[in-house]
Chains A and B, each alone.
Chain A
């Protein structure tokens, strides 16, 4: 294995750190991050501002993503059609998407077209006009997406899982929302959501590509520096409680061929001290090699599923540790049983040293692969900023993972996975 601690290692040179990330906070509270990459004549701009679906009124679920979808639908300076034409004509793209706390944006272009892209991006974020006809156009697209979801077992299993896990807790809100809420959202609600929450304070913008970092920061400052304001403080999130008994939901979809299963437990926040050990435990459980132990059991040994893997989701809010699989309807109970057996084993038996070492090496060794493209680096910079990990997080990352012990991995599995689970199944 490459010596990751030697100062001259190729990997360390390749890792973004305070040595090559330029980070500046503008007077209006926007943090700008820039890193140069001269391998291709292209550039990525990625970032977020502090508006998410946790800010939604409960009866207007979906208003955050609906608002994000409206940004490109017309601004004071440009119509929807004009925006599409000038952006796509140069092979660029600009997109928006809401999440729980934030609304993210992402743009990509040739370096020669960056000024245009920043101009349009700033226009969309700062001066959207929410044309009435486009509110209706977008509503139709969202209703069709909801109809497609109702006919997709994988999405329905996920939706049902979230409902069972969170009930009326704000984390149970779906980003797209329901038929009912999407019918209720009018232009006024979109404008109100925009005006309340779309503010520069707390915004982050990362620029990665073939441009000097100082120039990148100056361009962002020119596009956003004179925007001012701050959103109202956030409501505190109610605590998430462990299920006291197993919760199970089934969505009958009789004419489908396969059933999809989502099974999981509440997990920790990203900054929780348990996170690293849990990430390693999860790699053993359902990621490493061919989907970890879950893949080995459910797919390789029992031939039951094409996919069976686990994921640990952790953000500012408490996350979820989940396993998912798609199986023949006759095998649903057997597959759930197999997942629970593997989870039990992770809790009961220490992970053999060699197996743990494999997963550590995967977690650390695959770093360069995530950091090869502008998108990969920009996503990483935004994540470092949002999760408050610090610019030199990656330099310490290998040592943090290496230091984890068999005991810590078992303890974290026991702490989170010994509670009653939540499981949702959609299919025939």
Chain B
């Protein structure tokens, strides 16, 4: 369960490239879902000249106990995906308990009286399903995707563990070392180390300051009772959203949700959230030193929340600068070789990879750029070239052709995302979480309404030099020098170990 870096959550976490925060979802397939960076985008209209079936409409309801339910029927395949979202993430954490939302998420896989430790995963797997949990800055979410005649299992386990997770003290202790191992696995990745440091520099008062997994010292000292208290506070129907997509009848599904979740009493009022980041007064720079011979650059600007009108022109800007982003949870993003950043950095032989991404978040978060410095080039060279591209969108309007291309690319990504019930379930719930499900339905319309002038205005507003946060990963072995003893003549693709190979 993890993917706490769920970049997708809207975004470019470690900034921009449309890739692949590597591993680590605890899906029972062992797959490593690649989380695409950004993924905002929504709503499907079919394309002009296709006679393909339209997506069914979205149903939204709120139960008496405050639980919000959003549903979309999709009958193209005999599968369904059930999601439950809680409005709690690292955003709701204070110093001393950073990482508590993510750890609590792990504990929801550690058993209830009805499904003791290990039984839940087996129950879903034996029905041919996949499951996972994810924690992000704004939310914690769980899903099961199953053959549609077995989806009821998902409703039963999620209703059960909204209330009855045990948080056994011994299990909590065992999970402490698992989570520390997870953190140490991340630390092996230079871009993770730099991204975490840059995020901390960009936010001082707001809890977006710390990474979702939390600081090591808090992971070493947090207690079972703190974890359980967090669970009891935030896991309530009035703080949750159910999203279902797939092969079911909405009336029947809603009745069953009412039956299983309707009796759970609403929880008390949630703790108030008051943090606001003060204005940034000047550029901030962060350097992280570590092993390796490759340098990495990340530049992040404060960006508006997903519900802000300026968000849409920034999505256009993101698409033009860094390419369209795939919307699938399971990878397969679009290429970005015709984007401005690729041309200015990769085609110019300065970087081996370059991209950007805007996050879709509850509070204002970040628009991030990133680049991997090509062997033989330097961080200052790459930074200068990247900032020149940023200056260009501030100084000169984009073209109408670029705008139309960004819209068409997004339209295609929407169409692709309608093939998968899991992706649809994700987007329905995500939208309701950061905004309202209409955010998803109207996304393409809002994007279509963006003008060339809007795009230049937001570039000038958000990309001011004084508002940037610049991160450098400076490798111990410098530019281009191979580390000692690193020459390996042959060997393997055990990378493939991450992927399920058989197509049955």
Cβ of B494 and Cβ of A166 under 8 Å apart?
no
**What's the minimum C-beta distance from A392 to chain B, rounded to whole angstroms?**
13
Q: Mark A106-118, 1 if CB is under 8 A from B, else 0.
A: 0011111000000
Cβ–Cβ < 8 Å partners of B290 in chain A: 255
Cβ of B174 and Cβ of A288 under 8 Å apart?
no
Cβ of A40 and Cβ of B491 under 8 Å apart?
no
Pick the contact of A324 from B78, B179, B491, B494 — CB < 8 Å?
Answer: B494
> Is A326 in the interface zone, CB < 8 Å from B?
yes
Measured CA separation A301–B416 after assembly (Å) = 40
Q: Please judge, given known A-B contacts A91-B334, A162-B492, whether A141 and B504 are in contact too, CB under 8 Å.
A: no
Cβ of A328 and Cβ of B501 under 8 Å apart?
no
Cβ of B408 and Cβ of A90 under 8 Å apart?
yes
**What's the minimum C-beta distance from A417 to chain B, rounded to whole angstroms?**
17
Within 8 A of A (CB), among B377-420: 405, 408-413, 415-416, 418-420
Interface residues in A, total, Cβ within 8 A? 123
Cβ of A41 and Cβ of B177 under 8 Å apart?
no
Cβ of B334 and Cβ of A258 under 8 Å apart?
no
**What's the minimum C-beta distance from B129 to chain A, rounded to whole angstroms?**
7
Q: Mark A352-374, 1 if CB is under 8 A from B, else 0.
A: 00000110011111111111111
Cβ of B419 and Cβ of A372 under 8 Å apart?
yes
By a beta-carbon cutoff of 8 Å, the part of chain B in contact with chain A is 2, 22-24, 26, 28-30, 46-50, 52-53, 74, 76-79, 109, 117-118, 121-122, 124-130, 145-150, 173-185, 187-190, 290-294, 323-324, 332, 334-339, 342-343, 346-347, 349, 352, 372-376, 405, 408-413, 415-416, 418-421, 475-476, 480, 482-483, 486-497, 500-504
Within 8 A of B (CB), among A194-236: 210
- B149's nearest neighbour on chain A, judged by CB, is A2
**What's the minimum C-beta distance from B11 to chain A, rounded to whole angstroms?**
19
Cβ of A173 and Cβ of B490 under 8 Å apart?
yes
Measured CA separation A81–B323 after assembly (Å) = 14
Cβ–Cβ < 8 Å partners of A315 in chain B: 501
Measured CA separation A364–B129 after assembly (Å) = 10
Surface stretch bound by B, among A21-29, A289-297, A405-413: A289-297
Q: Mark A320-354, 1 if CB is under 8 A from B, else 0.
A: 00101011100000000000000000000000000
Cβ–Cβ < 8 Å partners of A111 in chain B: 47, 50, 52
- Listed from nearest, the 6 A-B pairs whose CB atoms lie closest are A365-B128, A162-B492, A91-B412, A158-B494, A39-B76, A151-B292
A-B contact pairs, 14 of them (CB 8 A): A40-B416, A41-B46, A84-B338, A88-B405, A91-B412, A111-B52, A150-B483, A152-B188, A161-B494, A258-B184, A291-B30, A300-B174, A314-B502, A365-B126
Q: A165-B492, A179-B482, A328-B177 are in contact. List 15 more A-B contacts (CB 8 A).
A: A10-B78, A39-B76, A42-B415, A84-B342, A87-B335, A91-B410, A150-B483, A162-B493, A174-B488, A290-B118, A303-B173, A303-B174, A363-B504, A365-B147, A374-B419
Measured CA separation A72–B45 after assembly (Å) = 31
- A39's nearest neighbour on chain B, judged by CB, is B76
Cβ of A155 and Cβ of B495 under 8 Å apart?
yes
Measured CA separation A366–B144 after assembly (Å) = 12
> Is A122 in the interface zone, CB < 8 Å from B?
no
Cβ–Cβ < 8 Å partners of A375 in chain B: 332, 419
- A375's nearest neighbour on chain B, judged by CB, is B332
- A296's nearest neighbour on chain B, judged by CB, is B118
Q: Please judge, given known A-B contacts A289-B125, A369-B129, whether A178 and B334 are in contact too, CB under 8 Å.
A: no
Within 8 A of B (CB), among A243-276: 253-258, 260, 262
Cβ of B349 and Cβ of A137 under 8 Å apart?
yes
Cβ–Cβ < 8 Å partners of B184 in chain A: 257-258, 326, 328
Cβ of B496 and Cβ of A304 under 8 Å apart?
no
Cβ–Cβ < 8 Å partners of B180 in chain A: 328
- A363's nearest neighbour on chain B, judged by CB, is B504
> Is A57 in the interface zone, CB < 8 Å from B?
no
- A13's nearest neighbour on chain B, judged by CB, is B78
**What's the minimum C-beta distance from B388 to chain A, rounded to whole angstroms?**
19
Cβ of B418 and Cβ of A39 under 8 Å apart?
yes
Cβ of B178 and Cβ of A305 under 8 Å apart?
yes
Cβ of B375 and Cβ of A147 under 8 Å apart?
yes
Measured CA separation A314–B475 after assembly (Å) = 38
**What's the minimum C-beta distance from B51 to chain A, rounded to whole angstroms?**
9
> Is A148 in the interface zone, CB < 8 Å from B?
yes
Q: Please judge, given known A-B contacts A153-B188, A166-B490, whether A147 and B52 are in contact too, CB under 8 Å.
A: no
Cβ of B47 and Cβ of A41 under 8 Å apart?
yes
Cβ–Cβ < 8 Å partners of A193 in chain B: none
Cβ of A258 and Cβ of B78 under 8 Å apart?
no
**What's the minimum C-beta distance from B352 to chain A, rounded to whole angstroms?**
4
Cβ of A289 and Cβ of B121 under 8 Å apart?
yes
Measured CA separation A290–B187 after assembly (Å) = 23
Pick the contact of B412 from A42, A175, A291, A309 — CB < 8 Å?
Answer: A42
Cβ–Cβ < 8 Å partners of A143 in chain B: 375
Measured CA separation A140–B353 after assembly (Å) = 11
Q: Mark A172-202, 1 if CB is under 8 A from B, else 0.
A: 1111001111000000000000000000000
Measured CA separation A158–B22 after assembly (Å) = 15
Cβ of A366 and Cβ of B490 under 8 Å apart?
no
Pick the contact of A144 from B149, B177, B372, B489 — CB < 8 Å?
Answer: B372
Q: Please judge, given known A-B contacts A38-B52, A306-B181, A365-B129, whether A172 and B419 are in contact too, CB under 8 Å.
A: no
Cβ–Cβ < 8 Å partners of A286 in chain B: 30
Q: Please judge, given known A-B contacts A151-B292, A174-B493, A178-B490, whether A368 and B178 are in contact too, CB under 8 Å.
A: no
Cβ–Cβ < 8 Å partners of B494 in chain A: 157-159, 161-162, 262, 322, 324
Measured CA separation A374–B124 after assembly (Å) = 24
Q: Please judge, given known A-B contacts A91-B411, A150-B486, whether A384 and B375 are in contact too, CB under 8 Å.
A: no
